[in-house]
Structure 1
């Protein structure tokens, strides 16, 4: 007789009226083995087959994480989009770091222009949140936004690579893997130190190494977020805040959130309750204050 499944180990998402934690109790992904990592591949003295093999192994581990549909994957997708925008801003010579991009996204009123970097961030967030079958609709909008920029073709090519990978693996939503790592020094081997470019013919010679680096970095971030989400869920469960399950779900859905955005039928009951929820968890070290401002604070995993 086949025993019933252990329901305690399942990843579960709370419904709007569920005040229990929304994170699985024990399922935490493990780091990649040492033989799969940034140093594998041609730049470490190995061959192209070594890089391709290591990239495949890393991708298999990441694929298993993505298929769990863990609630904190929303944070992962949004942070990959933020990282990709920060790199793109540097390539476009725009003065916008991660803090400025967060402010433009979360503190700009609806209908206001967040600026060139803010608009780019919104497009990449759209790409990272749409179903894979519709994510490609963002690419023409990105081309229009970057019209005339010398790196426009490169950025579009990087997103096309992410979209093709998501389609190949059957992911419901793509991950922004490539654009956030193209400026990494480890990807500039040789005396000239040229960075790899997806819009050039020599891309095929280094694409496996770039994929290995991108997937390994994403996997490491996923392991960190899973552990933080588990600690946050334990702390949130101890609070006496009403509807803490809803508040936790909102925190795990995005890179950052302002307390006033947590108020409403899908979140906490009042602005005061939302601020108290965030501040209490931040004081316990399980939620980050992403700004130093005394007002208009942003919080995140």
Structure 2
């Protein structure tokens, strides 16, 4: 299981995802990005040329978010990866949804086997956490794990598209966008409403629209995460902890955190202190409980 590094923010305000607090006590200069304008969606529903234009406009908006490097970008990256892993499991006809993959990632002890879908998820997390120029090194491992499955070529094509996109845009780390939308009903085409496949010649018919659907979904998720991060920052201001913002940095770095894993890494002296930190924020609605297991709990933005 890979270990997500804890970011070292320049200031506590940056770790909490906010600008300096104004006189009213509310965060000044919100970091919440604006939703995509409606005209972009209208353009994407037109012909192929307009769909390409819409994809480019949406990509510009997403690129601005990525380049601003918000503190919650780690959550966005991890949830896109989780979605891609759930799609891979579905393509391979494995019974592993996002909740099961999340549990396997965060609750499996080091050295234990998380299962076939869990291993794919771990490899995808490596791809999405490595520098773009090195992320492709994981693809041969992914191909070996798929062992010649009929969907191997398709899934690898989707990952390669994301790596090419990240390289062209100069992103330091890739976002896994394409895989998460292959089952989207909006992409079905032809008289029989077939699902498009990236390894087939007819992929070009829907490729621009697929990119638009992927980017717009990612952008909408970014807007939601930014709002949640701001609410979390406001709630955390009232907590008296000795973690110096490292607890929040852990929350903002990944899809989910287990309190017992925060001990030491986030400056909490005990498992009880870490649990109290998460439970208090969850009670205030600033964190979400992502699993209802009585003994192992996961929290996230």
What TM-score do you get using the length of structure 1 for normalisation?
A: 0.91
Residue 94 (structure 1) shift: 0.2
Q: What's 1:6 paired with? A: none
| Structure (1/2) with the larger helix percentage | 2
- CA displacement, residues 31-74 of structure 1 (integer Å, 9 cap, x when unaligned): 0000113x643xx3x21110011000000000000001111000
Residue 14 (structure 1) shift: 3.1
Q: Is the 8 A contact 2:51 2:208 kept in 1?
A: yes
Q: Is the 8 A contact 1:21 1:237 kept in 2?
A: no
Query: In 2, distance between residues paired with 1:260 and 1:113?
Result: 20
Query: In 2, distance between residues paired with 1:60 and 1:50?
Result: 15
Residue 272 (structure 1) shift: 1.1
Q: Is the 8 A contact 2:188 2:196 kept in 1?
A: yes
What TM-score do you get using the length of structure 2 for normalisation?
A: 0.91
Q: How do 1:187-206 residues align onto structure 2 when only pairs under 5 Å count?
A: 187-206=187-206
Q: What's 1:62 paired with? A: 62
1:22 is aligned to 2:20: no
Q: What's 1:35 paired with? A: 39
Q: What's 1:213 paired with? A: 213
Query: In 1, distance between residues paired with 2:82 and 2:265?
Result: 28
1:245 is aligned to 2:245: yes
SS at match of 2:134: helix
CA RMSD of aligned residues (A): 1.7
Query: In 2, distance between residues paired with 1:18 and 1:207?
Result: 42
Q: What's 2:268 paired with? A: 268
Residue 227 (structure 1) shift: 0.6
Q: What's 1:178 paired with? A: 178
Where structure 1 has 5 or more consecutive residues not aligned to the other structure, the ranges are 1-11
Query: In 1, distance between residues paired with 2:249 and 2:80?
Result: 19
Give the direction of change, closer, same or farther, for the CA distance of 1:190–1:233 in structure 2 (3 Å limit): same
SS at match of 1:136: helix
